Structure 1
Amino acid sequence: MYFRLIRNDIVKSKVITFTTMIFVAAASMLVSLAAILIVNLTGALDALMTKAEAPHFMQMHAGEIDRNRLHSFAEENDKVEEYQIVEFLGMDGSQISLGYNSLANSVQDNGLSIQNEQFDYLLDLNGNIINVSDGEIYVPVAYMRDNTTKVGEIAVISGKEFTVAGFLRDSTMNSSLSASKRFLVSNQDYAELKDLGDLEYLIEFRLNDFSKIGEFESEYASAGLEANGPTVTYTLFKMMNAISDGMMIAVILLISALVVAIAFMSIRFTLLAKIEDDYREIGVMKAIGLRLSDIKKIYMAKYVSIAAVGSILGFILSLLLKGKLLENIRLYMGESENASYALVLGIIGILIVFLAIVAYVNFVLKKFRKISAAQAIRFGTSQEKKASAKRFSLNQNRWFNTNIFLGIKDVLARKGLYTTMLIVLVIASFIIIVPQNLYNTISSKGFIQYMGIGGYDLRIQTNNSDKTDEIVNAIEHDNSVSKYAVMTTKTFKVKTNNGTEENIKVELGDHSVFPIEYAEGRAPVRDDEIAFSSINAEEMGKKVGDIITLLSEGNEKALTVTGIYSDVTNGGKTAKAVFSDSSANIMWTIICVKLSDISLVDSKVSAYSDEFDFAKTSDIDEFVSQTLGSTISAVEMASYSAIAVALVITILVTLLFMKMLIAKDRYSIALLKALGFSNSDIKVQYYSRSFFVLIVGIVLGTLLANTLGEVFAGLLISSFGASSFDFMVNPIQAYLLSPLMMAVMVLFATMFGTSNAGQTKISEHIKE
């Protein structure tokens, strides 16, 4: 019996049934996708870090190194399980050609390495430790992703030819957020090129207990060991590897939560519409003594079937789409060892959605208790009480056409009825605007000021402090330069709260020339002030106003923390100050340059690169693009997907709502026709209702997107170092294109949904 009832009802209301099923499928698909992607990302990341045996602590160092002292420290420290010193032979990008492409414009510190013997292995795309032969070179997977080179092509490094034998995964330098990239060559080839590059060292440790990494860092710093370079830990390696796909998954999670909420509202629409259609029949069933549970079973059977089919369809769609979304994860990290668990978790997610829908349908069907059998048989529709809208009366109307006025008045009189549609449109606006604002924010030039980088045009970095004056002299005599700043990074020791010492990298210079955004406080302007990156401040337990003790020129120097800022460079662990110090070793110097004519950037990059071959000259836009490029691409894909989802939602929800409204208003429509209103008049009234709700929805959605949405986006962006930021809104997109697209969708759905409004017969719906 139930099967026959379901079949007949589906045949009678194909559009509504199909629309409801699509909503359930979309919600199930997104929940399943999010679950599958999360499990695959975490599993692939863990597999990469495990197979490569990534170091727990890495200290990069440029300069002389005392191997015996390091060996003694490692032997005597009971926290150390393994340690090694890895050589990294830095090569200027102009000396590296991959196929037909030069790396002259690469902002990465590209260098050669040999395969490690103890841990921190470089892996091929099958997850195996690479054994490289003479004449072969393995290239970082990032250069495969951007189509710089292919297997079998010729690579030329400082005049020596290699064959690209494959691509490598590097647990420590995979991410674009990492400033360095390792190329793998054989021991013999490395020895031949060793005198042609700049030698740096990666001092790496694996600990017996990673939970004691903080204590180990303090012990390393207190021992006064080599520290002329960034310090990175296992946790930061994992974060940098996961950030691009992690942000995409986070956006999908946000969208899926909102779509699930909309799916519930849509089911409520269809149920209410169906109840309105069957109102007299429900009254008859109650009048003849049919139990309430039996009446509910008839409706439950249909919606359980729709939920089941929609959930299965959603799971199938998630399986079809997961391959595309997993491409980046598989390329950079390999296959997840938890792939089977991902499918199980995806199924569990869909089951939760299914059971939630069934429970919600059962809750909505409690409305049957309020249906009076006598009124249902007499009127054939619910007799809702309308709120009075006396202040909005027709005889006082001077602004609107009569039909438009009556449409708006109906919305104001039945606020509760239209609230659900309003909420859906607010959520749809939210889904469109928040991912777009997030993408616009992280892809804009101004975003770098939230990442520890000022608003300049050129970045010239050199490790040769003796030639800094040569660069500065050239810049001062360049008429196209409007202003510049010299920022020198040095390593200092600071005393922690528990009395131990830690190494910190402090950027010294005038920070007012190219100011950055501060999450808290301000930039340092006096010799006794310092600002910390958010990661440094968190690890050291410092906040604005605190005092730190820094060792400078053999003396203790008390500095007040004036500000906390975000930073994506050097592992996110930096500090800024203005004091002078001649004792600490210079790690590197960055000359920041602002040009009077932005169109000269390319030519100046080329000119300075040729003139100062000992330095790395970068267009700051290119620097940001190469550093955050994969993250920006992931968020861009998610934002465009969000637009598509939101527009489809807008069409379907408006269609469902109009169908429900027409069913509910049959008596009112018949009365209007009896009073002389034409079919077109009635349609205009419904159009005005839709657009009035749409306008309010878009306004509220935009406000929420730029307030609450900014908070959500801030949580995502803070995961890679930006602790505070403001949305950078594209006004044309947010305030013109997005509302226009939604308006077109609402108009289309309203036209289709009200197409049969004029077919209501007066004789059938006005009984008295």
Structure 2
Amino acid sequence: MRAILTLCWGNIRKRKLQNALIALLIALSALLVSTAFTVLMNTENVFEERHTAAQGAHEIINMTRGLHDERMVADWWSTQEGVTASSLIPYKPWTGLVYNGEELPNLYLYMIDTPPMPHGVNHPLPGAGPSQLTVPEAGTVWVPTSLAYKYGMEIGDELVFTAGAAPVQFTIGAIVIDLSHGGPFTTTARIWMNEADYLSTMGGLSTPEQYLVSLRYAHPEQSGDYWQRFEQALGSPFLEERVSFAELSAFYFIMNKVIGFVMSFLGLVMIAVALLTIGFTITDTILSNYRTIGILKSIGMTSERIIVTYMLQYGLMTVIALIPALIGSRLLSDIIIQNSLSFLKSEAAPVSVQALGVAIWTGIGMLIIILLCVILYAAKTRHIEPIQAIRYGMSESSHTHAHRHGTGTRLLDRWSVPAVIGWKHVTGNKKGAALIFLLMSITAAVLVFGTLLVTSVYRISETSAQWGYDDADIAIMVINADGMDRTEMQSYIEKDPRVLSLNWSGSAIGVVAQADGTQPTFSLPLTVVEGSMDEMGLASLSGRNPVLPNEITIGVNIARKLNKDIGDAVTIYIEGKPHQLLITGTFQSISNMSNIARITSDLVGEINPDAGFVQLRNQADSDEFVRQLNQRYSPVIQALKQEVLLDSVFKEAAAVLLIPMSMLALLFLAVTCLIVYSTCRLHIRKETKTYGIYASLGLTASDIRRALTSGIAGLAALGTLVGIVCGIYALPAVLRGLLSAYGIVKLPLVMEWPLAIGLTLIALAIAVSGCWLASRALDRTSLRVLVTDS
């Protein structure tokens, strides 16, 4: 055992730089993998905790059209064994909210007549304010964290609601976690009101009352059976809106799934790099100590004991590297989770990160993988024959091969001496060169992909149509439909010479009945357009937008669900009437996971527009035209530029992505610099006498350093080009597979080329500087003296 420990310590002491580099690679791979798994696991755990605490809904019924007796619907579900149904919650839709003197854009409000808590299912949870919720006090409202945290609202702040005949002012009495309507990127918020305030404020509105019922199943997989029985009792398909659990929960998970994917993918790549480096190092160690191993075998040390020496060495290094890495992963995952799940935080129940189990299993898994790799490479010592090792310092076959004369190097006779030095520096250290090439490719891919991802979200207004939004220059949000003279407004806008087109959009609910009747119906949100979808800028992935009354385009997830394609027919109930419609196209939409369809206004009795969309002849007129519309028609409408609407939703996504992507970029830049430095330094030490010969021929140390650096620069540049291609094509392709379930099958990407090229040039400069720094030893050494040193 003493001999094993002595050999182990000797290997660690002799190769300090290589061992430190391997430990760093192990630490970084553990950091990335542990962080990714911690983020993914905690995202689901935190949501499940809140969902359980709130008696969260598995489905929500939203009755907005009066097509069924809402009391009968609520009573039927409340009597079902295995189903918990909420009380019938009345509300009225509202738009127009002013906070701190500014009207908040792109916001649809459900003004809730709050029943006494608890009301069965889907309770709001305390976020800030009272620790126990009963009903809002008179003159106060409860607002969701999705609204309060986004705009910095606090308890006691004043809110002004402007959609009625006169503005109404309320105080924030509580900030609540509203799981079903308060997720990331939502434009809908439920405002919980006192009953007396609701009646006095909402009672005068002509808008009909609408109702919500939340359902929680003891066995969610049996929901289809319940719906079949419900529709049999109803005597017809259910014609109102149903929202599934997948739709309720999807956007709590999407950002962390993207972050987790990127980090786990790169962590696994880093593990592969670490294993390759370990393999290279063990192989080099065996070759450089070939005669020593032969002597040890000749005096009785077995191959198994030699293998155990390497296992002990790398096992110890792994344990030392894992401890700070796993502690760091706890801190990094906490930062990511606190940012991405901020809407689930409360004063009484902060978002806690459970990372110990993930860290332990990650550490054990890493240790096992590394030890298996060590066994694989160290097993080469089994083939060492003591006699050959002592005589040749290598195997006899390798000795014979090494002493053959070749003519391959004659091709270098025509090159300049610096070019030969640079070429030899790369080809003479093939394993190190392969490692540098691989890392430069990975680093460039990370930088380009990170830039691509963040800028695509940040500049989503340039590709809005491909994400499922309109591409109009100006959106007119209808705040008070009762006070709006749409005919007069349309005439005023269309007469303006700056206007190219004006189209209106509303919403409806369709219901799809399966043809064979064996499956329950499902509700299908509909975008109803009065005018031209092409003029609005609504895009299709394939096919075209509907033009005729019997045409429809459907989201890609609906197409999958129905197994339908362009040219097929589908029967949809709209306002209680069946329509057989021809599918003319498919599209993708991130806002509702592509679970939506588009129809023309001919299929509904009367469109109640939610918004108008204006295309201008010159986009530069947008600011002035928005100002004029708001001056003339406010507070009946709110006119906004398209990018303002999109920024209100997606700026937070860009901010959440920015932190982890920036940290990944810095990590890979640092690792690349260290690996280039250590690899070049080790090779330069081995070849110092050769460089002494070049110095005796008249080359200065600076000439040799420049030659060495130019060789690494060429290798790094080649790796950078490969990485750029991977960052643009390979990584987005993998991410597209992840987002496919969310209804995005074609990523609309925007490349910020100056930024991406600038970052890759920085990576290239860092790699080159690593080689230049490693060659400083040549300036401090008299190379001519080394020629005579034996």
TM-fit CA distance, 1:311: 0.8
Task: Extract unaligned runs of 5+ from structure 1.
Answer: none
> Are 2:70 and 2:211, in contact at CA under 8 Å, matched by a contact in 1?
no
2:138 to 134, 137, 149: 134
Letter in 2 for 1:142: S
What residue is the counterpart of 1:683 in the other structure? 705
TM-fit CA distance, 1:547: 2.1
> Are 2:140 and 2:193, in contact at CA under 8 Å, matched by a contact in 1?
yes
Give aligned-pair identity as a percent. 17
TM-fit CA distance, 1:437: 1.2
TM-fit CA distance, 1:369: 5.0
Q: Distance in 2 between matches of 1:588 and 1:517?
A: 20
Letter in 2 for 1:150: E
1:608 to 602, 623, 629: 629
- 1:322-341 alignment to 2 at 5 Å? 322-328=333-339, 331-334=342-345
Deviations 1:444-470 (A, max 9, x none): 223322221132222224484984434
Q: Distance in 2 between matches of 1:551 and 1:317?
A: 55
Q: What secondary structure does 2:180 align onto?
A: coil
Deviations 1:504-545 (A, max 9, x none): 325344222244443444433455432111232233232334
What residue is the counterpart of 1:618 in the other structure? 640
Letter in 1 for 2:435: T
Residues 1:300 and 1:570: Cα distance change in structure 2 (over 3 Å): closer
Q: Distance in 2 between matches of 1:187 and 1:389?
A: 95
Deviations 1:547-578 (A, max 9, x none): 21345799764433232211134564221234
Q: What secondary structure does 1:487 align onto?
A: strand
> Are 1:93 and 1:106, in contact at CA under 8 Å, matched by a contact in 2?
no
2:463 pairs with 1:460: no
> Are 2:554 and 2:583, in contact at CA under 8 Å, matched by a contact in 1?
yes
- Larger deviation, residues 676-685 vs 33-42: 676-685
Residues 1:189 and 1:273: Cα distance change in structure 2 (over 3 Å): farther
- 1:481-520 alignment to 2 at 5 Å? 481-499=499-517, 501-504=521-524, 505-508=526-529, 509-520=531-542
2:436 pairs with 1:421: yes
Deviations 1:303-322 (A, max 9, x none): 22110010111112122333
TM-fit CA distance, 1:170: 0.5
- 1:475-486 alignment to 2 at 5 Å? 475-486=493-504
Deviations 1:610-649 (A, max 9, x none): 5053445433222222223333222222221221122012
The total of aligned residue pairs comes to 759
Letter in 2 for 1:238: S
Q: What secondary structure does 1:544 align onto?
A: coil
Task: Extract unaligned runs of 5+ from structure 2.
Answer: none
1:41 to 27, 40, 43: 43
TM-fit CA distance, 1:265: 3.1
What is the TM-score of this pair, normalised by structure 1?
A: 0.87
Q: What secondary structure does 2:747 align onto?
A: coil
TM-fit CA distance, 1:355: 1.7
What residue is the counterpart of 1:586 in the other structure? 607
Letter in 2 for 1:204: S
Q: Distance in 2 between matches of 1:280 and 1:142?
A: 69
What residue is the counterpart of 2:583 in the other structure? 561
1:438 to 434, 453, 465: 453
Deviations 1:372-397 (A, max 9, x none): 77578767999787998959923455
What residue is the counterpart of 1:87 in the other structure? 90
TM-fit CA distance, 1:188: 3.3
> Are 1:552 and 1:581, in contact at CA under 8 Å, matched by a contact in 2?
yes
Residues 1:59 and 1:608: Cα distance change in structure 2 (over 3 Å): farther
Q: Distance in 2 between matches of 1:476 and 1:305?
A: 76
What residue is the counterpart of 1:365 in the other structure? 378
1:451 to 467, 479, 489: 467
- Larger deviation, residues 717-726 vs 279-288: 279-288
What is the TM-score of this pair, normalised by structure 2?
A: 0.84
Q: Distance in 2 between matches of 1:260 and 1:470?
A: 66
> Are 2:280 and 2:431, in contact at CA under 8 Å, matched by a contact in 1?
no
Q: Distance in 1 between matches of 2:204 and 2:277?
A: 67
What residue is the counterpart of 2:568 in the other structure? 546
Q: What secondary structure does 2:182 align onto?
A: coil
Residues 1:305 and 1:387: Cα distance change in structure 2 (over 3 Å): farther
2:265 to 254, 277, 296: 254
Letter in 2 for 1:352: G
Letter in 2 for 1:446: E
What residue is the counterpart of 1:531 in the other structure? 553
Letter in 1 for 2:342: L
- 1:704-719 alignment to 2 at 5 Å? 704-719=726-741
- Larger deviation, residues 546-555 vs 113-122: 546-555
2:373 pairs with 1:351: no
Residues 1:212 and 1:446: Cα distance change in structure 2 (over 3 Å): farther
Q: What secondary structure does 1:707 align onto?
A: helix
> Are 2:22 and 2:277, in contact at CA under 8 Å, matched by a contact in 1?
yes
TM-fit CA distance, 1:121: 0.5
Q: Distance in 2 between matches of 1:571 and 1:231?
A: 15
Q: Distance in 2 between matches of 1:430 and 1:377?
A: 48
Q: What secondary structure does 2:121 align onto?
A: coil
Letter in 1 for 2:254: I
Deviations 1:479-514 (A, max 9, x none): 332333333433344442324654432534422224
TM-fit CA distance, 1:711: 0.9
2:70 to 67, 70, 80: 67
> Are 1:47 and 1:337, in contact at CA under 8 Å, matched by a contact in 2?
no
Say what the alpha-carbon RMSD is for the aligned residues: 3.9
Q: What secondary structure does 2:89 align onto?
A: strand
- Larger deviation, residues 752-761 vs 21-30: 752-761
Residues 1:689 and 1:125: Cα distance change in structure 2 (over 3 Å): same
1:148 to 128, 152, 156: 152
Q: Distance in 1 between matches of 2:326 and 2:291?
A: 38
Letter in 1 for 2:560: E
Letter in 1 for 2:659: M
TM-fit CA distance, 1:428: 1.8
Q: What secondary structure does 1:190 align onto?
A: helix
Q: Distance in 1 between matches of 2:86 and 2:743?
A: 28
Letter in 2 for 1:358: L
Q: Distance in 1 between matches of 2:74 and 2:302?
A: 84
Q: What secondary structure does 2:90 align onto?
A: strand
What residue is the counterpart of 1:394 in the other structure? 412
Q: Distance in 2 between matches of 1:751 and 1:41?
A: 44
What residue is the counterpart of 2:303 in the other structure? 292
> Are 2:155 and 2:174, in contact at CA under 8 Å, matched by a contact in 1?
yes
What residue is the counterpart of 1:744 in the other structure? 765
Q: Distance in 2 between matches of 1:141 and 1:253?
A: 30
What residue is the counterpart of 1:114 in the other structure? 114
- Larger deviation, residues 685-694 vs 484-493: 484-493
> Are 1:20 and 1:270, in contact at CA under 8 Å, matched by a contact in 2?
no
2:105 pairs with 1:105: yes
Deviations 1:321-357 (A, max 9, x none): 3332231356322499997964212210121012212
Letter in 1 for 2:528: E
> Are 1:406 and 1:685, in contact at CA under 8 Å, matched by a contact in 2?
yes
What residue is the counterpart of 1:56 in the other structure? 58
TM-fit CA distance, 1:275: 5.0
2:172 pairs with 1:164: yes
Q: Distance in 2 between matches of 1:44 and 1:57?
A: 20
Residues 1:597 and 1:519: Cα distance change in structure 2 (over 3 Å): closer
Q: Distance in 2 between matches of 1:410 and 1:512?
A: 60
Q: What secondary structure does 2:614 align onto?
A: strand
- 1:217-296 alignment to 2 at 5 Å? 231-271=242-282, 274=285, 278=289, 281-282=292-293, 284-285=295-296, 290-296=301-307
- 1:189-200 alignment to 2 at 5 Å? 189-195=197-203, 199-200=209-210
Residues 1:595 and 1:269: Cα distance change in structure 2 (over 3 Å): farther
Q: What secondary structure does 1:167 align onto?
A: strand
TM-fit CA distance, 1:239: 0.9
> Are 1:435 and 1:638, in contact at CA under 8 Å, matched by a contact in 2?
no
> Are 1:32 and 1:347, in contact at CA under 8 Å, matched by a contact in 2?
no
